[in-house]
Structure 1
Amino acid sequence: MCRFILAQGRFPARDILEAAVGMSCGRTADHDGPVHVHPHGWGAVWREDGAEHGLGVHRDIRPLAESWRESPVPNLTTDFLAIHARNATLPENHGIQYTHPLFRNDELPWYFMHNGFLPTVHTLLGMESSTFDSREYFDYVIPAGAHTIDAEQALRLLDAIPPGGTSGNAIAVNSREAYLIHWTSPDNASPRYFTMQRLRTPEMTVISSEAIPDLAPVDQWEPLKPGIVQVIPITSADVQLLHS
């Protein structure tokens, strides 16, 4: 169970990072989920001209609240930023190899952040047992060699996951575009916990696991409808805001 946030447009990176810090500590928790604190590492991915794959990346196994000031993120100037704070569902899955964003070095490299627990998805990959559900979900919903995510196909894949998990909420990023996946198993016990919230202003679009009062009053946030895969353009320094 994790928390994440993405911002697109014109925004202070420090504000988005501080919003993620608040979620990681439970300061903005207003939901029906059992987890309020997310201390098991964090990571970020952002658009950066001149960086490898056109994307900057940071990972840290320490709690976000303890280590964010030592990262490059507060001082970034970028028009796309996604941040993930992790609470490991299984105690053995700790360490940098489990810290999001996960990475796959395909012909078109991908970065992936997941919020939820999908312990049965490995069966659809032909595996006898699961070793790390987020990695298995990554490989399932974005097959090796894929350059895009087809929304209809992705939702069919999600609906085919056997019962026993919670959510497939995810942010997937390559050098061309990002994708928001908003999908939760129909039998999960915490629907509000997994409902993403969106804030739209003339300057920016923010999509977050929780409404963040420090960014805007709660009544300015809108819950996203379930079962969507949304493309987020990130290829231009003057991106057109995601208002659809």
Structure 2
Amino acid sequence: MCRLILASGQVAVADIAAAAVDMSCGRTADHDNPTKAHVHGWGAVWREPGHGLRSHTDVRPLAESLHDSPLPETKTDFLAIHVRNATLESQRGPRFTHPLTRDDGWYFMHNGYLPTAYQRLGLPASEFDSREYFDHLVPHGANSLDPETALGKLDSLPPGGNSGNAIAVHPAGAYLVHWSAPGVATPVFFAMRRLRLPGVEIIASEVVPGLAPAPSWEPLPANTVEHFSFPEGV
């Protein structure tokens, strides 16, 4: 399982990266899942003014490798970070490190396990559930994500998974999906929280006191797709 954080607006990159480090190390893990640390790699996607989207991945723990990434020097109005604890030991390494990418310009980060998504693609078996979920959720060649359609696709999945929490990013905008299967065993782990500060909105898998005290965070409603539009030509 994984942790996600997204910031849109006047992004203090160092603060958001530090929050992701805290989550990856288990320092903020006030939830109902035995997994606390997320050390099987990490990735980020952000907007670089004048150059569009940029991304970075590393198979090392975030706390050990942040300094080797472009993030410390990055200035942006949108940043998403994913820190990973692989559900299956066989699914570790560069191929499985998020954000997943596609040749139509989409980037994708997932927290959860959806081993039946392959069935909606007509595949004989699952090879990597997050990749299959990506292709099921976001039609190839699309330049947007319709919230009602997206949630309908999740509701239609055969039983067996737990969460479809995800961040999908395209040059035209980003989407945060908050969805868990009915009766999920660890609802607190898959809850998401929103923090609104002057000039910036942050959504994260956990309350991060380093950004603001717990009362400042609000629960993100279940079955939600949030849209963050990007200015054209910027």
- Pick the TM interval, shorter chain: over 0.9
SS in 1 for 2:148: helix
Q: In structure 2, give the amino acid aligned to 1:87.
A: N
C-alpha distance in 2, partners of 1:63/1:208? 18
C-alpha distance in 2, partners of 1:79/1:120? 35
Q: Which runs of 4+ in 1 moved over 2 A?
A: 234-238
How big is the shift at 1:236?
6.0
C-alpha distance in 2, partners of 1:237/1:11? 19
Decide which moves more: 11-20 or 227-236: 227-236
Structure 2 stretches lacking a partner, 5+ long: none
Structure 1 position 89 matched with structure 2 position 87:
yes
Deviations 1:187-229 (A, max 9, x none): 2100010011000012210000001101000110001010011
- Inter-CA distance 63–212: structure 2 relative to 1 (3 Å threshold): same
- Inter-CA distance 236–12: structure 2 relative to 1 (3 Å threshold): farther
Structure 1 position 191 matched with structure 2 position 187:
yes
Deviations 1:82-124 (A, max 9, x none): 0000110011111111110000012xx1000000000111111
Query: Partner residue of 1:208?
Result: 204
Aligned residues: 234
How big is the shift at 1:237?
9.2
Structure 1 position 113 matched with structure 2 position 98:
no
Structure 1 position 104 matched with structure 2 position 102:
yes
How big is the shift at 1:234?
2.5
Structure 1 position 156 matched with structure 2 position 163:
no
Query: Partner residue of 2:30?
Result: 30
Maintained 8 Å contact 1:175/1:235: no
C-alpha distance in 2, partners of 1:68/1:200? 25
SS in 2 for 1:112: strand
How big is the shift at 1:143?
1.4
Query: Partner residue of 2:133?
Result: 137
Q: In structure 2, give the amino acid aligned to 1:200.
A: R
C-alpha distance in 2, partners of 1:2/1:235? 29
Q: Percent same amino acid at aligned positions?
A: 57
Query: Partner residue of 1:241?
Result: none
Structure 1 position 181 matched with structure 2 position 184:
no
Maintained 8 Å contact 1:6/1:208: yes
Q: In structure 1, give the amino acid aligned to 2:162.
A: T
How big is the shift at 1:49?
2.5
Structure 1 position 128 matched with structure 2 position 124:
yes
Maintained 8 Å contact 2:144/2:172: no
C-alpha distance in 2, partners of 1:114/1:225? 18
How big is the shift at 1:74?
1.9
Q: In structure 1, give the amino acid aligned to 2:164.
A: G
